[in-house]
Structures are given as structure tokens and as C-alpha cells.
Amino acid sequence: MKAMKIDRNIMLVVLFIGFLNFSFGQDKKLKLTVYAPKTSNLNVKVTSPVEGYYFGGNTNDFTLGEQTHKGEYSMSVGPGQQIIHVENDYQDAKLIVMEGDNITITFQGNDSLLVSGNNAEGQLLYNHLTKDDTRSRFQELDVYSTVAERLQMIDRMQKKDEQEIIGLLKSKKITPDFADLFKIESKMYYKLLWSTDLFFTCRPLVYGEDPATAKISPQFVEAWKKLYADMTVDWAKSPFYPLLMSRYSSLLSIGKPESNDPSKPYALSQIEKLKTVLKGKALEYGWANSITEGLGRNENEKVWLTNFEDFKTYFSGSPLIPILNPMIKKVEDYQAKLLIDTPGVIFLENTEKYSSLKALFKDIKGKFYYVDLWATWCNPCRAELQFSIKLHDEIEKIGYTPLYLSIDNEKANAAWKEMVKGYPLKGLNVRAGESLQKEINQEVPKFTGIPRYLIVNDQGEIVNWDAKRPSDGIELIKQLSSYRKL
């Protein structure tokens, strides 16, 4: 009996310790609250590292409350500080986090962000100093004509930012660990800014122009090579890594114009170049991020299936394989759709005769149309098409026919038809002829590019030249319904 009593006590202690460990483990989770009061898109996407390395495909979704526009999400994070990326309705925030953090972010629209919780002021400064603006900010360097002068300018910029980080640390508004990773990310940001500046400086050489006619000083090409010669695998831990690798692939194109094969998906050409210079984790994550980038643009070409098999051969035990599998399955499904006729997908032929939108819509009047101006090469267009597909039944229910008007040129005709069937884009599909494409630029008021959306009534009249987007969801449905009542 005595032995039994001792065993029972030991069991109780073990259970109690287990309970404490469970409770402690639960407390270690990152708690994230997202509030987006001005959005109609309630989906939030959270991207987190794998093995401490950045991988854009490692995303989880949660939904904001329909009335509150607020949602809570908890997740386990690895040891130490890590970076996660939070997106909602074209708004985004990067957060430096660790286990046990409790952070609330508010997307206010117009790129305005509020943060409360752990290292709140540091999170705001981090998003301000490392925002995705290198494609415009690089011009600040171009006022200088030499590599040395531009590097001196970058050094001044970086030191100024570092002083702001140190200021927050001294005032104890951020933790030392937070400050350490922030400083590393600041350096990565300026590496990307420098690489972006060198890309635009050397761009003629990237696209095959003869160095003699391009008149670009060799010092810039050498500086670009030196930047990547100093690369370490730790670069792959930064959210800037995919863009840095995209710039690297451009550098690798210099002197090899054949590597820019327009018949291949861009991201696939990027992988082929990176495979010649990277190895280990740098290649594994560079390759996987390029797959994610390409498939995220709906590059559903069959060649991606072969490429993925190669990836699995190179990295047979990679934790990225199960994450990539669903993306590859979508390519397989897409290819399967091309083998069958898709009900509801209608192509309007002989469109070369139309020289204006008004002429086109007058010729097909009798229905209300929601018109999507797009092209196969337009990434924002492709993103919106995913919402269009989901809204198709709702749009038809209120008496509209979706009309997808592509401005792809004649050479892209086969790719356009393939994409229409592969998505599929149910409704009326039109590819503008050359004369109509030219007229669209003049005919559409304040036309700044695609995607652009129009509403056409049953008399063939354009009643709204700048309608809401498919991603506006219920707001678009309300807008379309209002014209049916007129």
C-alpha cells in the first residue's frame, strides 16, 4: 500500500509539472490582434519563417470579424527574434517578434499603421525605415556619378537610421534583442537599395545591350559583383532576400543575353541563374521563394511541374516541400482544365474591327456588363482575377455578364486563351485588336493603367468608367446593383 501511495504522489507531481509546462508553452505563443476598420476584405495573411529563414510561401490565413473588422491569431515562433509579415487588402506590416509577445496592429488605410504591445515604437520605426520603396528611393543615389560617392551616401543614410534605433534602445522603448535584429534588417535594406540602384544603372547591359554603346562605367558592374561576393547564408533570413535574389539574377544576365529567354516564366529563368552560383540553404530558399513568386503570379506553365521535381531531387528532405505541394497541385489542376472545354467561357472573335470601346459595347448591347481591363503580364490584374472568379455567380445573379477585355498583343494570343480557360474566366472574353488598344489610352478618362473596371448598361452605354474592384467584394455588388435600379 505504501509503494502504491508513493507512486500515486509521483504521478500527481508529474501531471502537475506537465500542466505547468503546457500552460507555460501556451503563454509562449505569439498573440497577434489585427484591426482593419476601412477594409471590405476580411482575410488576413501571416507569413512566418521556416527554420529561421524567410519563405514567402509559408502563410496562414485568418478572418476578421464581419462587424468588428478585428481578429485574433496566435502562433508558435522559434527561439529568439524573428520576422513575420502580415497582409490585409494591399496593406502590410513587418513585425519583429519573439515567443510570448502580444501585439496589436491597426491598418488605417492609405499606408497608415498603428501598433501597440511589445516594442510598439520600434515596430513602427522598423516599418517606416525599411518599407518597400527602393524602386523609387534609389534615385537619391543617382545624383552622384561614382560608386564611391554613392556608397558614402548609403553609409550616411544607414548611420542616420541606426542612430534612431539606438535612441529607442537608450530610452528603453525597445529591447536589446529587438534592436540587434532591427540593425541587421536596416543593413539588408541598404544592400537592396544599393543593388536596386546598380540594376537601374546597368539595366541596358542586363538586357543585352553592347557595353560599347551603353556607355556604362565598368565600376558599377564591379561594385554589383562585390556586393554579392560578400553574401552569406544569413541573407536568406531576411524578407528582403527574394528581391535581393531577383536583382542577383539580373546581374548574372550581364554578358549572357540568352539567359533572358522570353518564352520561359521569369521566375523560372531566375532559378536557372541562381542554381549556378548558390548552394545549401541559400539555394534552397532562393529557389523555393522563386517558385512561390512565379506561381503567385499564376505562371501555371507545365514546366513548373518538372522544376518542382528537380527541387525535390536537390533537397529531398526539405521542410518546404509539403508547403509547396498545394501550389504545385494548382498547376496540375490548371493544366487539366486545358484539356477540356469549360462551360461558360465564351470568346468573342473578329475583334480587330473595333476601334473604340463604345463601338464594341454598342455591337454587343442587350446585357449589363462588368468589364475587366487586364493582361496576362499584369500581376495586379491576376490577383484581382482570383476575386472575380469567386464573385462570378453573385455578379450573374444580379443580372450582369462579366466581360474580360485583354490588352495583350497578337503574339500573346495563345497564352491569353490558355489562361482564360485555365482559370477559368466564365463570361465573355475579348482580346483588343491593335486599333482598340491604342484608343483605350485616349478613351478611358484619367487612364493610368490596368487593372481598370467599367460598368456598361444594356444599351451599350458606359455608365461608370472607374468601377470598384472585385476585391472590394460586397461594395462592388452594391455598386453594380445600383445601376440595375436606374
Examine the domain organization and report whether 138 and 60 are in the same domain: no
Tens-place pLDDT, residues 144-189: 999 999 999 999 999 999 999 999 999 999 999 999 999 999 999 9
CB atoms within 10 A of CB 405: 24
**Calpha distance 369→462 (Å, rounded):** 9
How do strand 102-109 and strand 112-117 relate by DSSP bridges? antiparallel
| pLDDT tens figures, 338-349 | 877 778 899 988
Task: Quote the domain boundaries for residue 455.
Answer: 345-484
The pLDDT-based confidence of 210 (bands split at 50, 70, 90) is confident
Mean pLDDT across 300-304: 88
In-domain check, residue 10: no
The CATH number for 448's domain is: 3.40.30.10
Number of residues in the chain:
486
Look at residue 41 and give its three-state secondary structure: coil
Domain boundary among 260, 286, 314: 260
Q: 20 falls in which pLDDT band (50, 70, 90)?
A: very low
Whether residue 138 is contained in a domain is answered as yes
246 and 158 in one domain?
yes
Residues 360 and 450 both lie in one domain: yes
pLDDT digits (tens, 9 = 90+) for 243-281: 999 999 999 999 887 766 766 788 999 999 999 999 999
> In the predicted model, is pLDDT for residue 207 greater than 90?
no
- At 3, the pLDDT band (50, 70, 90 cuts) reads very low
Q: According to the model, what pLDDT value does residue 484 have?
A: 84
Mean pLDDT of 433-452: 87
Average pLDDT over residues 280-284: 98
Q: How many domains does the chain have?
A: 3
Q: Is residue 70 part of a domain?
A: yes
Average pLDDT over residues 233-251: 97
Same domain, 363 and 447: yes
Match 506537465 to its residue by C-alpha cell: 18
- Residue ending a domain, choose from 234, 260, 286: 260
Same domain, 467 and 412: yes
- The neighbouring-strand residues paired with 113 are 107
DSSP 386-401: HHHHHHHHHHHHTTEE
Ordered DSSP codes for 161-192: HHHHHHHHHHTTSS-HHHHHHHHHHHHHHHHH
pLDDT over 90 at 428, yes or no: yes
Judge if 160 and 72 occupy the same domain. Answer: no
Write down the mean pLDDT value for the chain: 90
Final residue belonging to a domain, choices 211, 240, 260: 260
Adjacency order of strands within the sheet including 452-456: 345-347, 427-431, 400-406, 368-374, 452-456, 462-464
Percent of residues, the chain, with pLDDT higher than 90: 68
Residues 364 and 430 in one domain: yes
Distance CA 206, CA 210 (A): 10
Residue 348: strand, helix, or coil = coil
pLDDT value of residue 343: 84
Residue 312: CB atoms within 10 A of its CB come to: 15
Residue type present at position 416: W
Strand pairing partners for 10? none
What single-letter amino acid sits at 223?
A
182 vs 187: CA distance, rounded Å: 9
What is the predicted pLDDT for the residue at 72? 95
pLDDT, tens digit (0-9, with 9 covering 90-100), for 380-390: 888 899 899 99
Nearest to 130 by CA among 173, 168, 167, 83: 83
Whether residues 57 and 142 share a domain: the answer is: no
- Residue 474 maps to a domain: yes
Please check whether residue 349 lies inside any domain of the structure. Answer: yes
> ∠ CA 209-210-211 to the nearest 5 degrees?
110
Task: Please report where in the chains the cell 500515486 appears, as a residue.
Answer: 8
pLDDT for the residue numbered 161:
97
Most confident of 212-221, 334-343, 439-448: 212-221
Q: Whole-angstrom Cα distance, residue 289 to residue 55? A: 6
* Closest CA relative to residue 373, chosen from 471, 265, 300, 469: 469
Q: Is 49 helix (H, G, I), strand (E, B) or coil?
A: coil
Q: Lowest mean pLDDT: which of 232-246, 315-329, 419-433?
A: 419-433
Task: List Cβ neighbours of 414 (8 Å cut-off, separation of 6 or more).
Answer: none
Residue 431 and residue 465 in one domain: yes
Q: What is the pLDDT of residue 10?
A: 54
Do 161 and 204 reside in the same domain of the chain?
yes
Residue identified by cell 448591347 is: 365
Identify whether the C-beta of residue 54 lies closer than 8 Å to the C-beta of residue 239: yes
Q: Give the ranges where 275-347 is alpha helix by DSSP (H).
A: 280-296, 303-314, 321-337
Task: Say if 165 falls within a structural domain.
Answer: yes
Residue 111 has pLDDT above 90, yes or no: no
Radius of gyration of the chain (CA): 26
Indicate the helix (H) or strand (E) that contains 347: strand 345-347
Domain annotation covers residue 428: yes
Task: Assess whether pLDDT exceeds 60 at residue 21.
Answer: no
Residues 352 and 232 occupy one common structural domain: no
Q: What is the CATH number of the domain that holds 40?
A: 2.60.40
Is 143 part of any domain? Answer: yes
Q: Assess whether 180 and 108 both reside in one domain.
A: no
Mean pLDDT of 43-57: 96
Instruction: Tell me how far apart the alpha carbons of residues 91 and 43 are, in angstroms, rounded to a whole number.
Output: 11
DSSP 105-116: EEEEETTEEEEE
Integer Cα distance of 266 and 255 in angstroms: 18
